[in-house]
């Protein structure tokens, strides 16, 4: 099947010409005659709490399938439904549902646990009363409950090192976030196997020139993926540009979205928290930023507006996320590779999404 595009980002480079797929595989690139639009590797969101009236903390199996289909309209072909800290066994139950659901659209890449082992000094939108000290047995129970792909943890907390060791031994991605770690403590966590920073500049010890904290360490180490919510709310333009200096190979766009994404202004649920969305900003009653209404295609357009080329932006919304998860089979257009592709028009709006060569969305 020919996609009918004018160009594609192939192995990180913009290549003129059309793409051909056979079954689930990309079989040829740079073909003539070409058509219109541009093909990019399907977008991968490794931190999202919900979409289109579905809150991943309380979603039913049917809700998860519906969100999976809906996300393809934003170019997403793979995602990690993310849980903030919940009461009692609610995190266990939600992780179990995530693993049991069928995903007819964007593929499930494992649950991202953003909690409960976070610093009470930087809870963000998490309920501080529900945060816990890291505990290996609690972590084991969570791992047994479902397919856990990523865990965000504050590494300075007592017991964190043992939890990080457990997670890395199980090949679970460890992210540092909601943390008051010093630079020394951050280095120790990354040396131990953590490799992702959760939403740079948000809900962590602030960067200072003599106290750089986890942010300064993550930005200056070459082995850490830096995730960012590029929605013009979580970060100023200048802060986004600063974080982008790590380059597209380490800069990972996430939406950190909630069920209000794809909806509109109103009052919504984020786990056990009530969030008001007004003028595209999601906040708790006290004004704390609480998730977002960002979509991955919107983030791509924001990166291009900030000066990145389409190839650089494509890496940040797809390839670098796949690499952060050690998924070399995802996040790239290559001959012989998996045909997870999004086709955009000249305004970078999604026109078509394919997963394993099958069209799952068409505008």
> What single string gives the DSSP state of each residue in 153-216?
E-TTSTTHHHHHHHHHHTT-EEEE-S----HHHHHHHHHHT--EESSTTSSSPPPBTTB-HHHH
What are the pLDDT digits (tens) for 92-148? 999 999 999 999 999 999 999 999 999 999 999 999 999 999 999 999 999 999 999
Average pLDDT of the segment spanning 45-63:
98
Q: Which pLDDT band holds residue 160 (cuts at 50, 70, 90)?
A: very high
Q: What is the pLDDT of residue 268?
A: 97
Cα-to-chain-centroid distance, residue 150: 10
Q: What is the pLDDT of residue 124?
A: 97
Q: Which pLDDT band holds residue 88 (cuts at 50, 70, 90)?
A: confident
Q: What is the pLDDT of residue 272?
A: 93
Question: pTM, whole model, 2 decimals?
Answer: 0.97
Nearest to 271 by CA among 57, 108, 42, 120: 57
Average pLDDT of the segment spanning 55-84:
98
What are the pLDDT digits (tens) for 298-353? 999 999 999 999 999 999 999 999 999 999 999 999 999 999 999 999 999 999 99
- What domains sit in the chain, N to C, each tagged with a CATH number? 1-41+331-363 (2.30.40.10), 43-327 (3.20.20.140)
- Other C-beta atoms lying within 10 Å of the C-beta of residue 265: 14
Q: In Å, what is the CA distance from 187 to each residue of 13, 78, 198, 235, 262? A: 33, 30, 15, 24, 38
Longest Cα–Cα distance in the chain: 61
Q: HSE of 306 in the Cβ direction (CA atoms, 13 Å)?
A: 24
Average pLDDT of the segment spanning 283-296:
97
Taking the C-alpha atoms of residue 100 and residue 64, their distance in angstroms, rounded to an integer, is 10
Q: What is the mean pLDDT of the chain?
A: 97
Whether the bond between 245 and the residue before it is cis, its omega within 30 degrees of 0, is: no
Residue 42: pLDDT over 90: yes
Residue 173: pLDDT over 90: yes
Residue 354: pLDDT over 90: yes
What are the pLDDT digits (tens) for 178-229? 999 999 999 999 999 999 999 999 999 999 999 999 999 999 999 999 999 9
Torsion, Cα 93 97 100 105, to 10 degrees, reads: -160
Taking the C-alpha atoms of residue 122 and residue 114, their distance in angstroms, rounded to an integer, is 13
Q: What is the pLDDT of residue 13?
A: 97
Catalytic residues: 256
């Amino acid at each position: 099947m020919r996609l009918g595009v004018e160009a594609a980002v192939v192995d990180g480079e913009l290549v003129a010409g059309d793409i051909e797929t056979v079954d689930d595989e990309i079989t040829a690139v740079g073909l003539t005659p070409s058509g219109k639009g541009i093909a990019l590797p399907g977008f991968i969101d490794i931190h999202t709490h919900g979409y289109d009236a579905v809150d991943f903390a309380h979603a039913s199996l049917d809700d998860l399938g519906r969100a999976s289909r809906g996300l393809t309209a934003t170019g997403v072909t793979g995602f990690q439904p993310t849980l903030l800290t919940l009461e009692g066994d609610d995190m266990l139950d939600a992780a179990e549902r995530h693993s049991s659901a069928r995903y007819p659209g964007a593929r499930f890449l494992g649950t991202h646990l953003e909690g409960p082992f976070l610093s009470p000094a930087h809870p963000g939108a998490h309920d501080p009363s529900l945060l816990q000290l890291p505990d290996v047995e609690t972590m084991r129970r969570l791992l047994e409950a479902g397919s856990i792909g990523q865990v965000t943890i504050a590494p300075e907390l007592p017991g964190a090192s043992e939890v990080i060791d457990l997670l890395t031994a199980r090949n679970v991605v460890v992210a540092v976030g909601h943390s008051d770690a010093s630079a020394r403590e951050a280095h120790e966590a990354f040396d131990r196997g953590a490799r992702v920073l959760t939403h740079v500049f948000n809900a962590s010890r602030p960067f200072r020139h003599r106290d750089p904290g986890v942010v300064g360490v993550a930005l200056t180490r070459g082995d850490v993926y830096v995730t960012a919510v590029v929605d013009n709310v979580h970060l100023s333009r200048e802060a986004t540009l600063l974080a982008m200096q790590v380059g597209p190979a380490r800069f990972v766009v996430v939406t950190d979205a909630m069920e209000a994404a794809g909806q509109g202004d109103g009052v919504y649920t984020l786990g056990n928290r009530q969030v008001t969305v007004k003028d595209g900003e999601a906040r708790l009653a006290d004004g704390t930023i609480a998730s977002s209404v960002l979509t991955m295609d919107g983030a791509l357009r924001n990166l291009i507006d900030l000066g990145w080329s389409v190839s650089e932006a494509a890496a940040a919304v797809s390839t670098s996320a796949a690499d952060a998860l050690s998924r070399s089979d995802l996040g790239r257009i290559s001959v012989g590779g998996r045909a997870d592709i999004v086709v955009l028009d000249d305004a970078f709006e999604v026109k078509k999404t394919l997963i394993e060569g099958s069209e799952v969305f068409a505008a």
